[in-house]
Amino acid sequence: MLRERIQASNYSFLDKLRSIDYLLILLIIAIGSISVFAIYSTEGGKFSFYTKNHIIRLVVFFSLFLVLSFVRVSTWYKNAYLFYIVGLVLLITVLFFGISASGATRWINLYFLNLQPSELMKIAVIICFARYYHRIQSSDIQSYKFLIQPIILLIIPCYLVIQQPDLGTSILIAGSGIAIIWLAGLNIKYFVYSGLLLLVSLPFAISILKPYQKSRILTFFNPDRDPLGAGYQIIQSKIAIGSGGFFGKGYLKGTQSYLEFLPEKHTDFIFTLFSEEFGFLGSIILLFLYILLIYRIINVGLVSRSFFAKLYCFGFATAIFLYVFVNIAMVLGMLPIVGAPLPIMSYGGSSLLSIMLGLSIVMSCKIYNQEQISAY
Amino acid sequence: MLNRGRNIEKGRVITRRMFILAAAKILLFAGISSRLYNLQISDREKYEILSDKNRIREWKTPPQRGIIVDNFNKVLASNDRVFQLHLILDEINDFDVTIFKIKNLINLDQFEIKKLYKKKERLKPWDTLVVSDNLTWEQFSKINLYLHELEGAKPVLSTSRFYPYANDLVHIVGYVGDASPKDLEKPEIKENFVPGLKVGKYGIENSQEKMLIGNYGIKRYEVNASGKRISQIDYIKERQGNKVNLTIDIEIQKYAQELLKGKAGSICAMDIYTGEVVAMASSPTYDPNKFTHGINQKDWQEIRNNPLKPLINKSIAGLYSPGSTFKPLVALAALEYGTLDPNKTIRCKGHKHPYELYGVKYHCWKKEGHGYMKLRNAIKQSCDIYFYEMARLLGVDKLSIIAKRYGLGTNVLRDLYSDEKNGLVPDTKWKRRALEQSWYLGETVINGIGQGYIQTTPLQLCLMTAQIANGGYKIKPHIIKDESINYKDVINKIKLDQSNFPLHERNYLDDIKVEFYQRMYHKKSNINFVLDAMFGSTNEQYGTSYKSRYDDPKYQFAGKTGTSQVRRITDLDRELDLDTDQIEYKKRDHALYIAFAPYKDPRYAISVIIEHGGSGSKAAAPLASKLIKRIIDRHKLREQFNIGNTSLA
């Protein structure tokens, strides 16, 4: 009987409301609120530009998330490639009409927002790959014919993003794409081989890096190499986090950020500020919130019937994990500084928009979890 | 059906792979957590220190120097208010522009500007540059008027060393100046130094640095990443240096300095029981205040090129043959060793029949001769012939034992003054060691009248006089009040011993070491004999300083004149017999005088030296006489003050 209703695709509004993952919404609100407090603290406890903007964006994009959550998952499926193409077009637009800041050309001026297409591309790749592998038979997955297409689909945006240059986002896009290829069941040997290949080609890869990227990597291995230059950010970030101790210095009392020792504190280093003020305890709680968020997204995948939804949710969960991990590992000095925002926490419209968009697709998977999607 | 089976298989693969990924995620999150644990819990302290280092910057504030006071707590070296101009370097955008504006306001010359740029190079960007540490009121008010146009300029009311008695004390108190690299090696300066702090360069200022310098304060500020001060966190107040209390009486010192005006020489005065130096004047002098902010070239050349050598502290660094002022000690030594009977008569026959030894002639100063002399008369009239013979009989080694015991041949104030001289009391051993020659008897003979190798400082002569005048007791000479000495006890102890009949536990004729406040004589009557002879020298007719005497027993003093040759007297000189003012200045004799007062119950010893002053009786004794009156007039005041003070302690 239920099945009939599904086939008929006539969920009542009440059913939809009932299917919403409220815990997921609660988590988004929790992390969102924490981010408001953190941004407020970066401004030295003054309610001004960044805080205001961040709140507005949160409210707008959260509403957008709620609305888009009710879009049928099959609609997302149908438009997956379109989504990818739009992303690609925007990336090319950036190449020609992008606006620059501090040596990088990453944004398109949309007047109300400087859109960073590479952020949208992170989601586009996941949804595109989810659709691609949704329809491929498991027997065909191992064949080169079906492997070469996603690799090309992945290389194009990655290349475009590296050109901006934005190594961090490019790695994250590649990471999310590879994650889906892995989930779809490609033989493990491919991963081992390409991993080895990557290691071998690393010296060549480094040689084509921009000087500042090279210095960042060298600095990662030895931050004291240039404590006032390239190593400055990571040294100051570690000092801030370390001096926070177990309970932290207290809200609005983070001296490292308040006295401007921390660079990029609203964006990439927001975790540093949070960790300085709220200490080990606060950091672990925040980390736990992200783990819960990832768990809830995976859970949606588990209860979904379609491969598209499963692949998308697992892929998106992995992407969120990657963003969080790369960002935090970076500010803790475990990874080179590559420029990766912390999802929801970091100030930045495009990043927030893409996360909310991604989450709304997850929510739509949840609401329409019983929907079957035909392969064609 | 097949399709369905495949789909189930595909779903399983996806789920399995998801779980593998999830496991990896958990692992990586665990890695992050352990890293957080490391940073925030294990290494917390390290990062806390680093964070504080980041945000807290310290500025040292200079301490005020301790003051120096005289015996009566009159301030001899104080800290005066001065107007300074500082530049806070991190508040300046364009240093050149600021300096240009300042240059026009307070008229800096090219040389001073160059110095400022050099100074700035050595400073850190958040340091303070002292543009001028002594502005006139006019300059200071001008700066204040245009302050809004001067980036980073800070007019500061500060303090700097001021010597109210300027010239009168420079040889005792010394002066301060900028620290040299060598000064900064001294631990007491190194530990307490703040850029711009003045340190002692000479005298008490230098040797008592540890007492005077004080401790700097610390102002801790929270600063931001660009070094801007945000707030003051902490202020440890600086501690002013300790007071240094001298034994000098500034009134007497001033008067002694006034008596020496226009002359080159020294006057020293000492309490014969306590060993306190009451005055220690050296002439000519200079103004120590000029050194505080760096002396200008013209003034410096003037001081340096003065032929009377104001930079030399003549009381302790000037070496003179004691001349006849040595005679009381020679007489004492001869009496102690029983070399000759004081009633022995020797005839002084004048220049025509001088004393002869191995064909060398030794003349008395008196052309016509003294006639028949006994020892008392020989001291009183300062007959050289008598002392030639006496010295010959005594021998130089015995004389040197007594001379050293009474304070000659070693510096008096120990390590207080870096330039204090030891002088020289010769003996046969010394000559063999130092000159690798054997001693000639003729040298003993002239040693008997304080000529030859012997060299003394005025302060040594003063100490010698004091230790004879107090009845032959060793005292501890000092110029800084010594809290460990109870003056009342010391005086009573010596006076009690004086009235006792001494028991001889030790052989005072040997070269023994005598403790402070212990007697140094072998026979008390010998001391008394010498004191009586000195009385005669001043208060009886034919005495060499008879003209300078006081009849009032309150001021009555006893002394001994001396005339120290600066070169060998030739037969031609004797024939010409010129008056002092007819001789070229450099060739004139030094005039010396030693005395103690009052004669009955003496309390003070004094020594006077006038370089190239001619004869002691004409040039030195009158000055001593005047000063003695002043000292005795102030004695009661000093006694009340000191005893009142010590009883409090």
Interface test with B, best of A138, A253, A271 (most B CBs within 10 A): A138
Per-residue confidence (pLDDT) for residue A357, from 0 to 100: 95
Residue B15 with chain A: CB contacts under 8 Å: 302, 310
Average pLDDT, chain B: 89
Nearest-neighbour CA in chain B from A233: distance (Å): 12
Among B517, B515, B609, CA closest to B561:
B609
- Pick A340 or A59 by higher pLDDT: A59
pLDDT tens-digit readout, B324-376 = 999 999 999 999 999 989 999 999 998 888 998 888 899 998 888 999 999 99
Residue B190 touches chain A, beta carbons under 8 Å: no
User: Closest chain B residue to A178 measured between Cα atoms?
Assistant: B21
Cβ contact, residue pair A310, B11, below 8 Å: yes
The predicted model gives B231-251 an average pLDDT of 92
Residue B611 pLDDT more than 90?
A: yes
> What superfamily in CATH does domain B58-245 come from?
Penicillin-binding protein 2a (Domain 2) (3.90.1310.10)
Cβ contact, residue pair A283, B13, below 8 Å: no
Can you tell me the distance from the alpha carbon of B202 to that of B291, in angstroms, rounded to the nearest whole number? 11
Nearest-neighbour CA in chain B from A90: distance (Å): 31
The answer for residues whose C-beta is within 8 angstroms of residue A74's C-beta and 6 or more apart is: A368, A371, A373
Interface test with B, best of A178, A259, A335 (most B CBs within 10 A): A259
Can you tell me the distance from the alpha carbon of B615 to that of B622, in angstroms, rounded to the nearest whole number? 11
DSSP structure class, residue B409: S
Residue B230 with chain A: CB contacts under 8 Å: 259
Can you tell me the distance from the alpha carbon of B162 to that of B67, in angstroms, rounded to the nearest whole number? 10
The phi and psi torsions of B504 (rounded to 5 degrees) equal -100, 95
pLDDT band at residue A229 using 50, 70 and 90 as cut-offs: low
As given in the structure block, the two tokens for residue A100 are 């620059």
pLDDT above 70 covers a percentage of chain B that reads: 98
Residue A326 pLDDT more than 90?
A: yes
CA geometry: angle B113, B119, B122, nearest 5 deg: 150
- Pick B517 or B573 by higher pLDDT: B517
The answer for residues whose C-beta is within 8 angstroms of residue B398's C-beta and 6 or more apart is: B333, B337, B339, B509
The answer for residues whose C-beta is within 8 angstroms of residue B144's C-beta and 6 or more apart is: B155
Among A79, A75, A134, A135, CA closest to A368:
A75
Cβ contact, residue pair A260, B224, below 8 Å: yes
Per-residue confidence (pLDDT) for residue A9, from 0 to 100: 56
Domain parsing of chain B, residue ranges = 58-245, 250-301+319-648
The predicted model gives B504-519 an average pLDDT of 84
Can you tell me the distance from the alpha carbon of B600 to that of B605, in angstroms, rounded to the nearest whole number? 13
Cβ neighbours, 10 Å, residue B137? 8
Stretch among B229-233, B301-305, B415-419, B549-553 having the lowest mean pLDDT: B229-233
Interface test with A, best of B29, B51, B223 (most A CBs within 10 A): B51
The predicted model gives B204-232 an average pLDDT of 87
Residues in a beta bridge with B69? B75, B245
Residue B32 touches chain A, beta carbons under 8 Å: yes
In chain A, count H helices and then E strands: 16, 3
Per-residue confidence (pLDDT) for residue A80, from 0 to 100: 93
The closest CB to that of B50, out of A139, A185, A239, belongs to A239
Interface test with B, best of A139, A243, A265 (most B CBs within 10 A): A243
For B470-609, where are the alpha helices, taking DSSP H only? 487-499, 524-539, 571-576
pLDDT band at residue B384 using 50, 70 and 90 as cut-offs: very high
CA geometry: angle B181, B187, B189, nearest 5 deg: 60
- Composition of chain A by helix, strand, coil, percent to 5: 70, 5, 25
pLDDT above 90 covers a percentage of chain B that reads: 55
* Contacts across the A-B interface (CB distance below 8 Å): 130
Per-residue confidence (pLDDT) for residue B224, from 0 to 100: 81
The predicted model gives A170-174 an average pLDDT of 92
Average pLDDT, chain A: 88
User: Closest chain A residue to B37 measured between Cα atoms?
Assistant: A280
The predicted model gives B47-65 an average pLDDT of 86
pLDDT tens-digit readout, A31-82 = 999 999 999 999 888 888 999 999 999 999 999 999 999 999 999 999 999 9
pLDDT tens-digit readout, B79-114 = 988 888 888 887 788 888 888 888 888 888 888 888
Residue A278 pLDDT more than 90?
A: yes
Residue B35 with chain A: CB contacts under 8 Å: 329, 332, 334
Distances (CA, A) of A222 to A285, B51, B54: 30, 20, 20
pLDDT tens-digit readout, A144-155 = 888 899 999 999
Residue B6 with chain A: CB contacts under 8 Å: 137-139
Residue B55 touches chain A, beta carbons under 8 Å: yes
Cβ neighbours, 10 Å, residue A286? 23
Stretch among B128-132, B275-279, B362-366, B612-616 having the lowest mean pLDDT: B128-132
Q: Chain centroid to CA B367: how far?
A: 42
Does the CA dihedral B203-B206-B211-B216 come out positive or negative? Answer: positive
The predicted model gives B23-37 an average pLDDT of 95
Strand order in the sheet with B229-236: B56-61, B217-223, B229-236
Are B346 and B616 spatial neighbours (Cβ–Cβ below 8 Å)? no
> What superfamily in CATH does domain B250-301+319-648 come from?
DD-peptidase/beta-lactamase superfamily (3.40.710.10)
The closest CB to that of A182, out of B17, B36, B41, belongs to B17
Per-residue confidence (pLDDT) for residue A228, from 0 to 100: 64
Residue A275 with chain B: CB contacts under 8 Å: 36, 40
For A43-79, where are the alpha helices, taking DSSP H only? 49-68, 73-78
DSSP A122-190: HHHHHHHHHHHHHHS-TTTTTSHHHHHHHHHHHHHHHHHHHTTT-HHHHHHHHHHHHHHHHHHT--HHH
DSSP structure class, residue B91: G
The predicted model gives A233-248 an average pLDDT of 91
The closest CB to that of B225, out of A238, A244, A259, belongs to A259
Per CB distance under 8 Å, which residues of A are interface residues toward B? 137-139, 179, 182-185, 236, 238-246, 255-256, 259-261, 275, 279-280, 283-284, 287, 291, 294, 298, 301-302, 307, 310-311, 314, 318, 321, 325, 328-329, 332, 334
pLDDT tens-digit readout, A111-149 = 778 899 999 999 999 999 999 999 888 778 888 888 899
Residue A10 pLDDT more than 90?
A: no
Can you tell me the distance from the alpha carbon of B389 to that of B378, in angstroms, rounded to the nearest whole number? 11
Amino acid at B569: I
Can you tell me the distance from the alpha carbon of B92 to that of B113, in angstroms, rounded to the nearest whole number? 17
User: Closest chain B residue to A138 measured between Cα atoms?
Assistant: B10
Cβ contact, residue pair A239, B36, below 8 Å: no
Residue A181 pLDDT more than 70?
A: yes
Residue A320 pLDDT more than 90?
A: yes
Are B152 and B91 spatial neighbours (Cβ–Cβ below 8 Å)? yes
Nearest-neighbour CA in chain B from A122: distance (Å): 19
Cβ contact, residue pair A259, B55, below 8 Å: yes
Helix (H, G, I), strand (E, B) or coil at B456: strand
DSSP structure class, residue A111: S
Per-residue confidence (pLDDT) for residue B647, from 0 to 100: 46
Nearest-neighbour CA in chain A from B23: distance (Å): 11
Cβ contact, residue pair A291, B29, below 8 Å: yes
Per-residue confidence (pLDDT) for residue B634, from 0 to 100: 94
Stretch among A331-340, B24-33, B533-542, B602-611 having the lowest mean pLDDT: A331-340
User: Closest chain A residue to B231 measured between Cα atoms?
Assistant: A259
Cβ neighbours, 10 Å, residue A309? 29
Residue B220 with chain A: CB contacts under 8 Å: none
Nearest-neighbour CA in chain B from A60: distance (Å): 31
User: Closest chain B residue to A305 measured between Cα atoms?
Assistant: B11
ipTM of the complex: 0.92
Residue B198 pLDDT more than 60?
A: yes
